[in-house]
Structure 1
Amino acid sequence: MTWLPDPVGVRDARIVHFAQWVADRGLAAFDDVTDYRELHAWSVASPGDFWGAVADFFAVDWVTPPSDTLAQSRMPGAEWFPGGTLNFGHHLVRAGAADQDAVVLVSEDGVHTSLTYGQLRAQSAAVAGHLRALGVEPGDRVAAYLPNCVEGVVAFVATALIGAVWAQTGLDYAAQSAAERMAQLSPRVLIAGTGYWFGGRVHDRRPEARALRDLLPGLQHTITVETAGLPAAAPDLNVKLTPINIDSAVNSDAVVNIDPTVNVDEKINVDSGVGGGVGQVNVDSGVDVRAGSGGGTWRDALAAEPVREALTVPFDHPLWVLFTSGTTGRPKGIVHGHGGILLEQLVSPGLHMDLRAEDTFFWYTTPNWMMWNAQVCGLLHGATNVLYDGKPTAPATDALWGIVADLGVTVFGTSPGYLEASQRAGLEPEVPSLRLVGVTGSVLPAAANEWFRANVSERVQLGSMSGGTDICGIFVASAPNTPVFDGEISAAALGAAVEVWDTGGMPVPAGTPGEMAITGPMPSMPLRFWDDTGDVRMRDTYFDMFPGVWRHGDLIVRTERDTVVILGRSDATINRHGVRLGSAEIYAAVADLVADALVVGVEEPDGGYWMPLFVVGDAEPDRIRRVVAERTSPRHVPDDVIAVARLPHTRTGKRLEVPVKRILQGADPGRVIDRGAVDDAEALDALIAAARERRSKP
């Protein structure tokens, strides 16, 4: 079955307006501006022209225009927009009307908290001033240990405005696991919450926040944010400080105007050279930064003297550090730049999801996942962004659908797992405001498309996409002018030169599984990994198999109609009797039989091969084997079907195929997986015990 775009809607889509804009300026010639394939072909054949057109079409606010678009195209090391300067934080707050809601937080208890664009501009300017008063310089790291909250958005914008580097984990991480990530960065400031909602109750994280503070080397200040209604307990989270001196005239080489009438409280006194030159910002706002006072509270931060201008930074100035899941070793810190992320997040929501100022944008995510960062980037388009602090199925499975209906959400992002849970619960959501549902995080089975059309809407596009933390963006996706075929992703994303290669680096024919290879650079590819001298780890991660070409690690198939099917991670590929099988095919086959599943292929020391399927549910093993054979092939039938009470995942809901495979092969669990990165440590322990029991038998 297929979803087809409405021709009238296509003509109105921003992606078509963009194609027409490109054609009108003579940058490319298209036979049909509504034809996605034509636009994509040009975007990868002329990447410099394409990304330059993106910058112009969306009116990127250059402080210093670049001398070129793509000066060097090698990977790694592509040089984008040399000489160009700008600020990502400025772009986040420039679009929305002052009285329009910028951020709406919904807590699991149903309480709503909102912030307008005018308030966001004022509060982020004040918090930026507070960070400066605490001595935060461009390139310094600001670490956040927060739930999904309005304050997190404000703090991130503030950090970007002054050229500092943002990093965060959610409050559900234990202090030690959060420190596994944050301690690498030696942050100057920690912004810590007190609690979060999940599963019908507030979880008190004040002790963990204090423990994390003590695990971060070089930390000088902690700002306490009261979240989920929990006050800061005595003793509070503030660190003991050594004396520091702050010059009352903080220099900011900036010319980007944030807002000419920032007004946070009556104490503000700003003498700033707005419009150019070096701004002199008075930070004498009553914020006590003497030894022992710490970073204060969020209230202190909001009462600080605001900055009036965003710091001008180079295109590739570090914006944030995102961390890999930590399920295959020490979490790697991926450094992205202001300009590269700006361009990617103009394209992925702006063109592929047609996100605009009149939209209400809700993607269920947590601060542990790059989708939090992508959700916040809805601000670039002036949309109203909805956050949720809570369990997606609490108090009932329809919790997220209820938010969509109540707030009139037009663009909703979720996971295949939530759609499958909705299907099992027999839901029929009434969500008339919706025009697009985006899905990512794992492979979307064809059955989910069928359920969606039958029970949610035949009109709304259900667009599956895939990319990664690596680029904080997309490699393959749908668009308003692409059809959706069940079980398939519509196309390679704009600007993504996606090919399918065998392990020898040769393209494979349509219909043949192979490695996802990205043969051309994209602006949001990592600047580097944190603490990776000579880019050794980054080269090993992406360029070890195909020098000069990005190997993403997904096993994919390109169909005859040029759509993409993702079969699973290639490092977890099941290679049974010389035939490569995708785990996603097995999951799709059993989706309506079990609540959860995990399959791995284990090469054994004696040359044998064992393929167990762990399932959560009551289905008989023989029935599961029969259904797998009928819906896939006899080669996909597992050697053993093992029922378990629960299965562990990453904290972003991904299956732990690679770590479980290595554990079953006898690897030390402590070396292959960070327990703090797992959502259910007890379920992981059960799998470890099963592996040990099997190895103990002859």
Structure 2
Amino acid sequence: METHHALWNWSVEHLEKFWESVWEYCEIKSVTPYRCVLEERKMPGAKWFPGAMLNYAEHVFRNERSDRPALLFRSERVPYREVAWKELKEKTAAVASALKKIGVKPGDRVVAYMPNIPETVVAFLACASIGAIWSSCSPDFGASSVLDRFRQIEPTVLFAMDGCQYNGKELDKRPIVDELRKNLPSLKKTILLPYLREDVQATDDSVLLWDEIIQEKAELSYEYVPFDHPLWILYSSGTTGLPKPIVHGHGGILLEHLKSLMIEENITKESTFFWFTTTGWMMWNFLIGGLLVGATVVLYDGSPTYPDGNALWELAEKARITHFGTSAAFINICMKLGVKPKESYDFSDLEAVLSTGSPLTAEGFLWVYENVKDDVCLVSCSGGTDVCTAFVAGSPILPVRAGVIQCRSLGANVQAFDENGNRLINEVGELVIVDPMPSMPLYFWNDQNDERYLDSYFDTYPGIWKHGDWIKMDEEGGCVIYGRSDSTINRAGVRMGTSEIYRAVEAIDEVLDSLVIDLEMMGKKSFMPLFVVLQPEVALNEELKEKIKNAIRQKVSPRFVPDEIYQIEQIPKTLNGKKMEIPIRKILLGFPLEKAVNRGSMANPEALQFFIELSKQLASSEQNRLSNH
């Protein structure tokens, strides 16, 4: 095939042949043969490679070697550390043995409240090796947000640390760990890592210390599981209810990550692969996939701007990173700080800069080429926790165009649809997937009759996956993501349901009702306002603003503290009492009023006036910003 577009066309038209070729090219090992590639092209419910029995962790450790490390690690506390393949395998075997002694079996859930450190990788690989199901939250999540996730899946074992450091500040996490243990009745044991201090002691018989369990020598063995046996549970929040526990399978993730990293991103056994992420973002799971290829994976724990904006660029030189993964938010911060990494660091090993989390603007592209490296391959990509991969990404054989994502991912039949299900070219529409992908969710945990699953992706176009992003695509598949088409909050790639923020805010006595809107969209300044209706006679002052922000900081995450808080008289609602998040988002983004909202479906159309006026103010300030820029 002469062009990438021709290859993509073949990959979606001959879906089964394409994924069979990925299986063969990436040398997937199964102890039993598969009966067929795909039983039927349908969504949801696609059955991939039935009959295959395999293990994710075995595909990691088949890459073991002595001449290159498996992991490189740096944090605000640890200057630099290498983890050899031999050490990674021995510790994984020891932790897997300890889990078996506790009684953990295939299908049991094991959870982690841990930062992005080598011990977390060990714990995950140990779970994968025995067929246990992994799930993690990062330490920036408050106790209630963690419990909203972990309680749903009833874990047997909790991995946790005593504390961590962020932006130079030591954070004692023991009170949160105690709260998790108290409110997760299914736990048999907690495995505690002394990370902040060395003198941590087990408080009772249900606590095991990390340093003790890794002392035991054990042989690493693998539990072979069906292709669709659960590997991990990730979480994506909608606008109502608890976070959705998304279950991904061993085989689907294995195949998808090998395809993405090995074939599309050209990551090899000689590559050094980094992505700035926490353990609460799907990019952590994607990053660990670098071990499947045999690459050296680089972990960083801490603030990306501590002690200054050069922290990660210094690491890129030190670790000789070949593929530097980050977010559009980090690139924007570097631009604002006036950082010029290439003047201070040697990036001769750097082949690619990868960006995700939110749309990367043309200015962001320009900054990378002017201030990092002028011959690097800059890849902007977009996907989701829902599939733990990218739908649209890049290719080393395609030209890079500022502000544009190069192409659709191989095997991902991505289209832009209008509201009637017609395909659009060079017009903004809903991002949809019209054929199944191996890493689509197996199901949501405890989702009766797949009700939430169907409602999340298939309620608009039956049998076709609607992702919730606005996309504009050209004839060759080059595209621009314009932000969320739904009302989910997206802060630097981590998505949070508005319901979690409402629970924190509306628990405050002074607050009667609230509305939060994420105004991140391509070409506009990112802005997340919170609107509150207060008790009679209560006025919004700085003290109350700080009280609201602290509630979000502690119960949800510091990441989701609003940029501004406004007091309003009433929240716009539908006739059946639902908060009108999407119409208000459209109004504030500057959509024509008649295309943003149907006043006839509102209980209180007079509530719109405040947002119409605010939209004019935001548009004016945006115009001034662009003029000054």
Bin of the TM-score, shorter chain as denominator length: 0.7 to 0.9
1:271 equivalent in structure 2: none
Q: Is the 8 A contact 1:360 1:385 kept in 2?
A: yes
Mapping 1:133-172, distance limit 5 Å: 133-172=101-140
CA–CA distance in structure 2, aligned partners of residues 67 and 426 of structure 1: 57
Q: Give 2:455's aligned amino acid.
A: D
Q: Give 2:232's aligned amino acid.
A: W
Q: Is the 8 A contact 2:322 2:350 kept in 1?
A: yes
Following TM superposition, by how much is the alpha carbon of 1:663 offset from its aligned partner in structure 2, in angstroms?
12
- What CA deviation, in whole Å up to 9, does each residue of 1:79-110 have, x standing for no partner? 10010000011112211313521112201145
| Residue 545 of structure 1 pairs with residue 512 of structure 2 | no
- What CA deviation, in whole Å up to 9, does each residue of 1:424-449 have, x standing for no partner? 22222122221101000001111111
| Residue 507 of structure 1 pairs with residue 423 of structure 2 | yes
Which of 101, 112, 131 does residue 69 from structure 2 map onto?
101
Following TM superposition, by how much is the alpha carbon of 1:78 offset from its aligned partner in structure 2, in angstroms?
0.4
Q: Is the 8 A contact 2:89 2:220 kept in 1?
A: no
Identify if the C-alpha distance between structure 1 residues 561 and 73 changes in structure 2 by more than 3 Å, giving closer, same or farther. Answer: closer
Identify if the C-alpha distance between structure 1 residues 486 and 328 changes in structure 2 by more than 3 Å, giving closer, same or farther. Answer: farther
Which of 222, 225, 231 does residue 190 from structure 2 map onto?
222
CA–CA distance in structure 1, aligned partners of residues 568 and 114 of structure 2: 32
CA–CA distance in structure 2, aligned partners of residues 512 and 377 of structure 1: 34
| Residue 460 of structure 1 pairs with residue 376 of structure 2 | yes
Identify if the C-alpha distance between structure 1 residues 388 and 327 changes in structure 2 by more than 3 Å, giving closer, same or farther. Answer: farther
Identify if the C-alpha distance between structure 1 residues 589 and 305 changes in structure 2 by more than 3 Å, giving closer, same or farther. Answer: closer
| Residue 388 of structure 1 pairs with residue 355 of structure 2 | no
Q: Give 1:528's aligned amino acid.
A: Y
- What CA deviation, in whole Å up to 9, does each residue of 1:232-279 have, x standing for no partner? 645x355xxxxxxxxxxxxxxxxxxxxxxxxxxxxxxxxxxxxxxxxx
Which of 28, 36, 40 does residue 72 from structure 1 map onto?
40
SS of residue paired to 1:495: coil
- What CA deviation, in whole Å up to 9, does each residue of 1:608-655 have, x standing for no partner? xxxxxxxxxxxxxxxxxxxxxxxxxxxxxxxxxxxxx99x89869689
Q: Is the 8 A contact 1:134 1:221 kept in 2?
A: yes
2:401 equivalent in structure 1: 485
CA–CA distance in structure 2, aligned partners of residues 479 and 57 of structure 1: 18
Q: Is the 8 A contact 1:105 1:387 kept in 2?
A: yes
SS of residue paired to 1:484: coil
2:269 equivalent in structure 1: 357
| Residue 566 of structure 1 pairs with residue 481 of structure 2 | yes
Q: Is the 8 A contact 2:391 2:412 kept in 1?
A: yes
Q: Is the 8 A contact 1:224 1:237 kept in 2?
A: no
TM-score (norm 2): 0.79
Identify if the C-alpha distance between structure 1 residues 663 and 202 changes in structure 2 by more than 3 Å, giving closer, same or farther. Answer: farther
CA–CA distance in structure 2, aligned partners of residues 175 and 599 of structure 1: 24
Q: Give 2:125's aligned amino acid.
A: V
Mapping 1:421-500, distance limit 5 Å: 421-430=333-342, 431-500=347-416
Which of 210, 228, 234 does residue 178 from structure 2 map onto?
210
- What CA deviation, in whole Å up to 9, does each residue of 1:314-350 have, x standing for no partner? 0000000001146654111000000000011001111
1:377 equivalent in structure 2: 289
1:412 equivalent in structure 2: 324
- What CA deviation, in whole Å up to 9, does each residue of 1:582-626 have, x standing for no partner? 9665x5255xxxxx53489x9xxxxxxxxxxxxxxxxxxxxxxxx
SS of residue paired to 1:299: helix
Q: Is the 8 A contact 2:189 2:207 kept in 1?
A: yes
Mapping 1:117-136, distance limit 5 Å: 117-136=85-104
- What CA deviation, in whole Å up to 9, does each residue of 1:532-556 have, x standing for no partner? 0111100000111011111111111
SS of residue paired to 1:118: helix
Q: Give 2:523's aligned amino acid.
A: A
Identify if the C-alpha distance between structure 1 residues 378 and 661 changes in structure 2 by more than 3 Å, giving closer, same or farther. Answer: farther
Q: Is the 8 A contact 2:237 2:243 kept in 1?
A: yes
| Residue 38 of structure 1 pairs with residue 6 of structure 2 | yes
SS of residue paired to 1:335: strand
2:510 equivalent in structure 1: none
Bigger shift: residues 377-386 or 106-115: 106-115
Identify if the C-alpha distance between structure 1 residues 218 and 185 changes in structure 2 by more than 3 Å, giving closer, same or farther. Answer: same
Following TM superposition, by how much is the alpha carbon of 1:113 offset from its aligned partner in structure 2, in angstroms?
2.7
Following TM superposition, by how much is the alpha carbon of 1:139 offset from its aligned partner in structure 2, in angstroms?
0.3
1:612 equivalent in structure 2: none
CA–CA distance in structure 2, aligned partners of residues 310 and 190 of structure 1: 21
| Residue 111 of structure 1 pairs with residue 41 of structure 2 | no
Q: Give 1:463's aligned amino acid.
A: V
The alignment yields a C-alpha RMSD, in angstroms, of 3.1
Identify if the C-alpha distance between structure 1 residues 480 and 599 changes in structure 2 by more than 3 Å, giving closer, same or farther. Answer: farther
Identify if the C-alpha distance between structure 1 residues 373 and 100 changes in structure 2 by more than 3 Å, giving closer, same or farther. Answer: same
SS of residue paired to 2:299: strand
CA–CA distance in structure 1, aligned partners of residues 561 and 45 of structure 2: 32
1:199 equivalent in structure 2: 167
1:368 equivalent in structure 2: 280
Identify if the C-alpha distance between structure 1 residues 131 and 391 changes in structure 2 by more than 3 Å, giving closer, same or farther. Answer: same
1:342 equivalent in structure 2: 254
Which of 527, 541, 545 does residue 597 from structure 1 map onto?
527
Q: Is the 8 A contact 2:239 2:487 kept in 1?
A: no
Q: Give 2:429's aligned amino acid.
A: G
Which has the larger Rg? 1
**Fraction of identical pairs, as percent:** 40
- What CA deviation, in whole Å up to 9, does each residue of 1:372-424 have, x standing for no partner? 11111110011111111110111101111111111111100011111111112
2:571 equivalent in structure 1: 665
Identify if the C-alpha distance between structure 1 residues 378 and 89 changes in structure 2 by more than 3 Å, giving closer, same or farther. Answer: same
SS of residue paired to 1:101: coil
Following TM superposition, by how much is the alpha carbon of 1:562 offset from its aligned partner in structure 2, in angstroms?
2.9
CA–CA distance in structure 1, aligned partners of residues 464 and 146 of structure 2: 32
| Residue 302 of structure 1 pairs with residue 203 of structure 2 | no
SS of residue paired to 1:588: coil
Structure 2 gap segments, 5+ residues each: 489-517, 532-548, 580-606, 614-629
CA–CA distance in structure 1, aligned partners of residues 383 and 468 of structure 2: 11
1:401 equivalent in structure 2: 313
Following TM superposition, by how much is the alpha carbon of 1:458 offset from its aligned partner in structure 2, in angstroms?
1.7
Identify if the C-alpha distance between structure 1 residues 558 and 214 changes in structure 2 by more than 3 Å, giving closer, same or farther. Answer: same
Following TM superposition, by how much is the alpha carbon of 1:303 offset from its aligned partner in structure 2, in angstroms?
2.5
Following TM superposition, by how much is the alpha carbon of 1:172 offset from its aligned partner in structure 2, in angstroms?
2.1
2:54 equivalent in structure 1: 86
- What CA deviation, in whole Å up to 9, does each residue of 1:435-489 have, x standing for no partner? 1010000011111111111222220011000000000011000011121211111
Structure 1 gap segments, 5+ residues each: 1-29, 239-292, 574-581, 591-595, 603-644, 673-690
Q: Is the 8 A contact 2:356 2:382 kept in 1?
A: yes
State how many pairs are aligned: 530
1:532 equivalent in structure 2: 447
Following TM superposition, by how much is the alpha carbon of 1:694 offset from its aligned partner in structure 2, in angstroms?
6.2
Identify if the C-alpha distance between structure 1 residues 43 and 599 changes in structure 2 by more than 3 Å, giving closer, same or farther. Answer: farther
